[in-house]
Amino acid sequence: MLRISLMEDFGSPVRLMFGYEVIVPMHFGAIVDPSQMVDFSKKTEPLPAQPRLWVFDWADETLRNLLVPDEVATHYFGDMRSLGGDHPLVRDKRVPNFNDERNRVAMVWGDYLFSALHGPYTTVRIAVPKIPKVVIQPVNQAGAVPAGAWRFDPHAFWKWEEQLDPNSEMEMEEYRARRKFRPTATVPTPPASIDISNLSGEQLDELARLLVERNKKKAG
């Protein structure tokens, strides 16, 4: 198990979901309750599955630190064993390539923001993905971090900002301005309908007068 500590407010709860837990009722001793056995000779019904879910919430101090399995921390925050592509361990596929793993983690959290000013297939990155600031540490059987244990800071390790375009700040300003002043679609208001049957005599006379004046203007 690893302890993940949320270091600052993410703005909302952080949900880490990794697979599902399925309990298959099986019994390896004397059959006490037939319902505890699974008859594999028959078509089995889908078993209820519960998602494996961990939730961090800065607003709740008890949820700022959680214990999660190693594979969950690695999936969401990357494998800290990653090395450069020319390393023998990477060539032997024993550890991930650093850039591949950095980009994979970015995609888990929604990927970089890409510029829209360089065509539909641009690879120009102008903002890093929104990833919570955390620190990951190992724990012992009691759930405590051993003295002198390693400490993994994903933001310091992956340095996602290094992959931003040199003009990213300028393009982000343009992006924010474009979103701020984006014209909204408007639906033309249909002309109001008049129910003549509900008009009084004076209103009918006024309507007739307006129609005569309108026809005169058209004729002139």
Q: Which of 65, 158, 156 is nearest to 107 (CA)?
A: 158
Q: What is the pLDDT of residues 147-204, one digit of tens each?
A: 999 999 999 999 999 999 999 999 999 888 888 766 555 556 565 666 666 777 777 7
24, 97, 156 from 51: Cα distances, Å: 15, 30, 30
Number of structural domains (the chain) is 1
Q: Which of 100, 104, 108 is nearest to 84 (CA)?
A: 100
Alpha helices in the chain (DSSP H): 70-77, 88-91, 98-108, 154-158, 168-180, 201-219
Q: Does any domain span residue 158?
A: yes
Q: Does any domain span residue 133?
A: yes
Q: Does any domain span residue 164?
A: yes
- So what's the pLDDT on residue 104? 97
The more confidently predicted of residues 216 and 172 is 172
Q: What is the pLDDT of residues 85-131, one digit of tens each?
A: 899 999 999 999 999 999 999 999 999 999 988 887 888 999 999 99
Q: Does any domain span residue 23?
A: no
* Phi, psi angles (nearest 5°) of residue 21: -105, 125
Q: Does any domain span residue 105?
A: yes
Q: Which of 4, 19, 20, 11 is nearest to 63 (CA)?
A: 4
Count Cα neighbours of 4 within 13 Å in the Cβ-side half-sphere: 27
Q: What is the pLDDT of residues 16-72, one digit of tens each?
A: 999 988 766 555 555 556 665 666 666 666 667 889 999 999 999 999 999 999 999
- So what's the pLDDT on residue 40? 60
Residue 220 confidence (pLDDT) above 70: no
Please give the average per-residue pLDDT across 130-156, as a whole number: 95
- So what's the pLDDT on residue 143? 86
Q: Does any domain span residue 107?
A: yes
Residue 5 confidence (pLDDT) above 60: yes
- So what's the pLDDT on residue 206? 80
- So what's the pLDDT on residue 7? 97
- So what's the pLDDT on residue 81? 96
Q: Phi/psi zone of residue 11: left (φ > 0), alpha (ψ -120 to 50 degrees), beta?
A: left
Range of the domain at 157: 2-7+67-176
Q: Does any domain span residue 37?
A: no
User: Residue 182 and residue 196: Cα distance in Å, rounded?
Assistant: 42
What tokens were used for 178?
Answer: 């474009």
- So what's the pLDDT on residue 192? 60
- For every residue of 36-78, DSSP letters joined together read GS--TTSPPPPPPEEEEEEEE-TTSGGGSEEEE-HHHHHHHH-
Q: Does any domain span residue 166?
A: yes
* Phi, psi angles (nearest 5°) of residue 54: -125, 135
